[in-house]
Amino acid sequence: MKTVRIVALQKDRKRMLEHLQDSSLVHIKQTENAEEGFVRSDKSAQLKQFERNISLTEQALKVLDRVVPEKKGLLASFKGRREIEPEDLGKIASRSVRMIGICTKIKDLEKQQADCAAERIRVKTLIAQLEAWKDLDIPLNTGDTAMTSVLIGSFPKYFDQIGLAEALAAEDKDLVYDFEILFSSSNITCAVIIVPKTQKERADNVLRTLGFTKPLNPTSRTPAEKVRRLIEKDEDLQEKMKKAEEDIASYAKYRDDIRDTQDYFTIRAEKYQVITQLDQTSHVFVLNGYVAEEDCEKLEELCNRVAMCIVEFGEAGDDAPVKLKNNKFAEPAESIVTMYSPPSHEDIDPTPLLAFFFYFFFGMMFSDAGYGLLLIIGTAIGLKVFKPDKNMRNNLKLFQYCGVATVFWGLVFGSIFGDAPAVFYKLATGNEITMQQLLPWPTLDTQKDALTIMILSIGLGLVHILVGMGCKFYVCWKQKQYAKAIFDTGFWMTMLIGFAVLGAGMATGGVLTYIGAGISILSAVGLVLTQGREKKGFFGKLVGGVASLYDVTSYVSDLLSYSRLLALGLTTGVMAQVFNMLSTLMGTNVIGILFMIVIFIVGHAITIALNALGSYVHTMRLQYVEMFSKFYEGGGKAFVPFAVNSKNFKLKNDK
């Protein structure tokens, strides 16, 4: 990685930034303040406007997706962005104002829908409140006559005719009244009470004591008339909501244009964000950033072609971002590394090693040649037909290489859609046969040879761990930490190798037992003598060295983790065989064959889905926990180039 400093004239700033953004070569250096003698542009107002436009387009697209869901195929996510000519970006810019206007209309229509929906709730509440008064043939706000007072309201409890009369008499036996109960339930009684006008005050006191309350929304119309009008209003609101939805749907044809507009303002926002990081005077500007060493010549050529400028390169420090560079075999696994953490400058790039072991272990867990072949074919079709973008292309490549490893291990374990060839052979001939007999090469049966496969899994795990420790040894040696490399890593490596040789000797007999024991003892002595070297005093150093041997339990635990290679491989094979057996239960008649086809396809689809996911997750665990813990620190800052980061389109010259 190199630092880059580009000095150019202000009049060429726009053109220079556009070409740098198209090239995706430079990671812009972020600093808080300008260098002495320079100033920074305040673009906060423009950035806020761009962000508002981006947010508006996003909201408009969500509204369109709700009202007019876009029809997408199951494989649409694999499809790459469409390519456009650089001059097409100008066309998108020219119609961006119109698209923002359309997005505003969509949001206004959505607000209109929301307002109508809220009003409908209020209307329905009023209708519900008037339901109890539907038999009342006078308005709820009916006033007094010349001789009487009309009191309309409700009591907070149940009353029948006799009960209400008794309650009124109990409060004031001299009160003259007449009443009609319109509605009553367990917790409310609606009634109309008429009293002489001269006794209105007495009646109010009595009714107040009984909890009598007047309607919340008295009207000048009868309840029935009011309900009818409210129903008409509700229907009108529904019609307005429907019309608003139709108007929103009419804008669905602009969905792609709105997406393009969103990308356009995203690109502009990123460019203006870079402008705020430029050191400027009235005549020149200075851009500071990072560029990959192999791209220096390309960047210099680009800048000199675009404008008169000065391009200076320098050595990058430890704060420089990290850009991974790998061959076609390892590149798909970069996402696995960055998912954990980009490497720091003190790390090595673990991608090549991770790629090999990831493919290898995934294949051993998935372990079926038929499934592996489907992975290879499916990913090849996806790459050919959909022409996906880089990230998706690498993901498909990752599983394609995993498919190759799966085919290899499937042939080793004699599993091709489980024991499907043997099952079909029996159906065709009536003769029993095993996969071991059917295949012309020696195979391992995950059920009968489980112990052998377990030993193989532990052995592969030992190699995996030793490779990780070897990386640690290399990193320490490169940093001239020779004691740490030899004492803290080298002795543990030789001890694990000694244990492996000892185990092989115990299994086969002979001199290997003594060789392994000798290596292990010498390594243990080395650990005892060196692991307490930072302690004070002879006794402290000795105790520290002896205590370090306890770490052997950690390594044993790590090695046992690789038994999942056997467990997942066994699961895949057993599930496949079970579905093969179930598919033959109905015999070979017409119904039986149809049953066989359905069960075979569905069963193996379930097996593929479950075990592919399990293999992916557990393979990542073996990398992150068992291998990375031995040497990988991570914590680096990823190289993020100033680029056209659009979701919907890409420029034809976008690399």
What is the band of 79 on the pLDDT scale with cuts at 50, 70, 90? confident
For 467, the token pair is 């490779």
DSSP character string of 395-438:
HHHHHHHHHHHHHHHHHHTT-BTTBHHHHHHHHHH-----HHHH
Three-class DSSP category at 363:
helix
Q: Which residues of 35-62 are buried (b: 16+ CB within 10 A; e: fewer)?
A: eeeeeeeebeeebeebeebbebbeebbe
Report the alpha-carbon distance of residue 445 to residue 570 in Å, rounded.
Answer: 9
Tell me the average pLDDT across 543-552.
85
- Angle ∠(441,446,451) on CA atoms, nearest 5: 105
Average pLDDT over residues 330-340: 92
Residues 264, 349: Cα–Cα separation, whole Å: 35
Distance CA 30, CA 12 (A): 22
Average pLDDT rounded to a whole number, residues 602-629: 93
Q: Cite the DSSP H helix spans in 199-250.
A: 200-209, 223-250
Cα–Cα distances (Å) from 32 to 39, 40, 278, in that order, read 11, 10, 11
Residue of 564, 78, 627, 77 whose CA lies nearest to 337: 627
CA distance 313 to 2: 6
pLDDT at 318 over 50: yes
Produce one character per residue of 577-609: b if its CB has 16 or more CB atoms within 10 Å, e if not: bebbeebbeeeeeeeeeebbeebbeebbeebbe
pLDDT, residue 654, reads 45
Neighbouring C-alpha atoms within 13 Å toward the C-beta of 641: 21
Over 70: is that where the pLDDT of 193 sits?
yes
- pLDDT tens column, 421-437: 999 888 888 888 888 88
Counting every residue written for the chain, the total comes to 655
Closest CA to 272 of 55, 5, 13: 13
Asked if residue 149 has pLDDT above 50, the reply is yes
What residue has token string 């307002």? 115
Q: What pLDDT is attached to residue 74?
A: 66
> Which residue do the tokens 């689809």 mark?
605
pLDDT value of position 78:
74
Task: Walk me through the domains of the chain, giving residue ranges and CATH numbers.
Answer: 2-94+256-315 (no CATH), 141-214 (3.30.70.2750), 331-430+450-631 (no CATH)
Give the chain's radius of gyration (CA, Å).
39
How does strand 26-28 pair with strand 309-315? Answer: unpaired
Query: CA-CA distance, 60 to 469, in Å (whole number)?
Result: 53
User: Any idea which of 152-156, 236-240, 642-646 has the lowest mean pLDDT?
Assistant: 642-646
Residues whose CB is less than 8 angstroms from the CB of residue 509 and which lie 6 or more positions away in sequence, other chains included: none
pLDDT score of 90: 87
Quote the tokens at residue 34.
Answer: 């300008």
DSSP 30: P
Residue 194 has pLDDT above 60, yes or no: yes
Q: Who contacts 395 (Cβ-Cβ below 8 Å, separation ≥6)? A: 332, 335
Nearest CA to 362 out of 620, 19, 93, 170 is that of 620
Q: What angle do CA 631, 467, 493 make, to 5 degrees?
A: 85
Mean pLDDT in the chain?
A: 91
Q: What kind and span of H or E run contains 309?
A: strand 309-315
Torsion of CA 412, 501, 560, 352, to 10 degrees: -60
Q: What percent of the chain has pLDDT over 90?
A: 65
Q: What percent of the chain has pLDDT over 70?
A: 99
CA distance 331 to 390: 11
E strands, 434-586, where? none
| Residue with more model confidence, 515 or 74 | 515
Q: How far apart are CA 539 and CA 537, in angstroms?
A: 6
pLDDT on residue 56: 96
Q: Report the distance separating Cα 483 and Cα 485, nearest Å.
A: 5
Q: Could you report the per-residue pLDDT of 472-500, keeping only the tens digit for each?
A: 999 999 989 999 899 989 999 999 999 89
The confidence score (pLDDT) of residue 346 equals 85
Cα–Cα dist 560/625, whole Å: 13
What is the average per-residue pLDDT within 67-82?
78
279: pLDDT strictly greater than 60: yes
Contact 387, 418 (CB under 8 A): no
Say whether 303 sits in a helix, a strand or coil. helix
Q: Look up residue 169 and give its two tokens.
A: 């008499």
pLDDT, residue 655, reads 43
Opening angle at CA 165, ends 159 and 168, nearest 5:
100
The string of pLDDT tens digits covering residues 568-613 is 999 999 999 999 999 888 887 889 899 999 999 999 999 999 999 9
Q: 653 falls in which pLDDT band (50, 70, 90)?
A: low
The contacts of residue 341 (CB under 8 Å, 6+ apart) are 634, 635, 636
Q: What pLDDT score was predicted for residue 70?
A: 85
**Count of H-run helices and E-run strands, the chain:** 24, 10
Structure-block tokens of residue 62: 């969500």
Is the pTM here over 0.85, yes or no?
A: no
pLDDT at 288: 93
Distance CA 649, CA 641 (A): 18
